[in-house]
Amino acid sequence: MEHHTTILLIEIGALLFGLGMLGRLGRRFGLSPIPLYLLAGLAFGQGGLVSLRASTEFTAVGAQIGVVLLLVMLGLEYSADELVGNLRSAAPAGLIDMLLNALPGAAFALLLGWDWKAALVLAGITWVSSSGVIAKVLGDLGRVGNRETPVILSVLVIEDLAMAFYLPVVTAVLAGLGLASGLSTLSVAVVTVVAVLVVAIRYGGEISRFMSVKDPEALLLSVLGLTLFIAGVAGELKVSEAVGAFLVGIAISGPVAHHATQMLTPLRDLFAAVFFVFFGLSTNPADIPPVLLPALGLAVLTMLTKVLTGYLAARRAGIALPGRVRAGLALMPRGEFSVVIAGLAVAYGVDSRLAPLATAYVLITVVTGPLLARLPDYAWFKEIIRKRMAAQRAAQKPLPSME
C-alpha cells in the first residue's frame, strides 16, 4: 500500500510538472496548451511511450472535476436573466446547429454501411461541441468578455440541454428497452433540467446571500461543494454534469460570483489540464491510423459546418463580421460528450469501428480547433476581414444619382 502511494505521488508530481512546462512552452510560442496536453496524454497512455498506472484513478476523477469547474466558471460570468434572454434568441441557431452538424454524422455512418443505430450515435458525436475545450480556449484567448461570447455560450448550453434528452433516448435505443422505459428515463431528465433552471433563476439571489464573501475559506468550500453536489445529482439523474455545473454558476451572482471566480481560477486551470491529459491517456495511438482518413474527412466537413453555425448565430444577434468569424471558429472542437456517446455505443456492441473513428475525430477537432481559433488574432487575417467589411460597405452604398 505504501509503495503504491509513493508511486502515485511520483506519477502525479511528474505529470503536473510536465504539464506546467508544456503550458509555458505553448504560451512562449503563442499557442494554446490544449493540444500539448492531449499529445502528452497520448504519449503516456495505452500503447504510448510510458504507461502511467498508479495515477489512472486520480486522472479520471480529476478530469470530471475539470469539466465541472470549466462550466461553473463560465456560468459565473452571466446572470440568470442573460441566460434566459440568450436561450430565447439562440433557439433558431440551436435548430440550425443540429441540422448542420448532426445530419452529416448520420449520413456518413450510412455511407460506411453501418446500421441506423450507429448513424444515430455518430450524429450525436458530430453534433455537440466541447464545452470544456471551448471554455478553456475563450479563457486563454481573453475573449470571455467579447460580444460574441454570449452567443457561443447559448449554442453550447442548448447543445448540453439537448444532450440531457438525447442521451436517455440513445441509451434506451441501444439497450433495446421498450417505449415505456425510454419515456420514463426521458421524463426524469426533463423534470430535472426544468427544476434546476427554476431554482437558478428564481432563487439565485437567496443562494448568493446565503454565502459570505468575508470568509474566503468558507466561500471556496461552499461554492465548490455545491457545484460538485449539483453536478453529481444531475449526472445521476441522466442529465449532463456540465449543465448542472453551469446552472450553479448562473445561480450565483453579485460579489459572491466575483470572489468565487478569483478563488476557483487556479483550481480550474489545474483540473482542466488533467481533463485534457486524461482524454489522451484513454486513447491507444495504434487504433487511430486505420480510421484516420475517414475521421479526417468527417472532421473537415463538420468543422466547416460549425463555423457556419457560429457565423449565422452571431449574425442573427447583430454582431459584426469579426465576431461572427470568432464565434464560428470557437465552436469547432468536439470533446467530452462525443466520448461519452461513443462509450455508450461500445458498451452496447455497436459497430467496432465506431470507437476508434470517434476517438480520431475528436482528437483532430480538439487539436486543430484551438489552433484555428487563434486565426482572428493574426494581422494578416484581420486585414482579410477588414477588406471584406470594406467590400460589403461599398456594395451597400447607394449609387449616385444621375439627375
Confidence of residue 75 (pLDDT cuts 50, 70, 90): confident
**Do 186 and 192 contact (CB within 8 A), yes or no?**
no
d(CA 212, CA 217) in angstroms, rounded, equals 10
**Distance in angstroms (rounded) separating the CA atoms of residues 307 and 300:** 11
CATH, residue 162: 1.20.1530.20
| pLDDT confidence of residue 181 | 64
3-state secondary structure of 343: helix
**Residue range 44-68, pLDDT digits in tens:** 766 666 666 667 778 888 888 887 8
Q: Domain containing 118: what range?
A: 2-25+32-377
In a domain, 397, yes or no: no
389 vs 279, residue with greater confidence: 389
User: Which pLDDT score, from 0 to 100, does residue 1 have?
Assistant: 56
Question: If we measure between CA atoms, which residue out of 164, 145, 260 comes closest to residue 207?
Answer: 260
Please state, in angstroms and as integers, the Cα–Cα distance from residue 374 to each residue in 20, 30, 129, 153, 155, following that order.
21, 9, 17, 18, 20
Main-chain dihedrals φ then ψ at residue 224, nearest 5 degrees:
-65, -45
Residue 281's alpha-carbon distances to 26, 60, 160, 239, in angstroms, are 20, 10, 24, 25
pLDDT given at position 82: 66
Within 13 A of 25's CA, how many CA atoms are on the CB side?
A: 10
Task: With H, G, I as helix, E, B as strand and everything else as coil, classify residue 301.
Answer: helix
Residue 120 CA to chain centroid, in angstroms?
Answer: 20
pLDDT at 246 over 90: no
Q: Which three cell numbers stand for residue 108?
A: 456518413
**Amino acid identity at 206:** E
Integer angstrom CA distances of residue 88 from 93, 95, 147: 10, 12, 17
Is 395 part of any domain?
A: no
Q: What angle do CA 281, 283, 288 make, to 5 degrees?
A: 145
pLDDT at position 401 over 60? no
- 151: buried, middle or exposed (CB in 10 Å: 19+, 13-18, 0-12)? buried
Calpha distance 378→310 (Å, rounded):
20
- Domain assignment present for residue 390? The answer is no
- Answer whether residue 21 is part of any domain: yes
Q: In whole angstroms, what is the distance from residue 335 CA to residue 365 CA?
A: 8
Query: Of 23, 24, 42, whose CA–CA distance to 34 is shortest?
Result: 23
Is residue 70 situated within a structural domain?
A: yes
pTM to 2 decimals? 0.73
C-alpha cell read off for 45 = 497512455
Asked which of 41-50, 87-96, 120-129, 147-156 is least confident by mean pLDDT, the reply is 41-50
Query: Cα–Cα distances in Å, from 3 out to 6, 8, 10, 45, 304?
Result: 5, 9, 11, 21, 50
Under 8 Å between Cβ of 329 and 310: yes
Any idea which residue has 476557483 for its cell?
Answer: 264
Which tens digits make up the pLDDT trace of 202-236? 777 777 777 777 788 888 898 899 889 988 887 77
Give yes or no for a contact between 308 and 377, defined as CB atoms under 8 angstroms apart. no
The pLDDT score that the predictor gives to residue 102 is 94
Name which of 62-76, 186-200, 301-315 the model is least confident about: 186-200
- Residue 123 in domain: yes
Cell digits of residue 22 = 508544456
Query: Residues 187, 162: contact at Cβ < 8 Å?
Result: no
Number of domains in the chain: 1
Q: What's the CA gap between 224 and 211, in Å, rounded?
A: 12
For residues 255-269, average pLDDT = 85
| pLDDT band, residue 107 (cuts 50/70/90) | very high
Would 389 be classed as within a structural domain?
Answer: no
**Within-domain flag for 383:** no
Per-residue pLDDT tens over the stretch 361-383: 988 898 888 889 989 888 888 88
pLDDT band at 80 (very low <50, low <70, confident <90, very high): low
- CA–CA dist 154, 160 (Å, integer): 10
Q: Which of 295, 316, 313, 314 is nearest to 366 (CA)?
A: 295
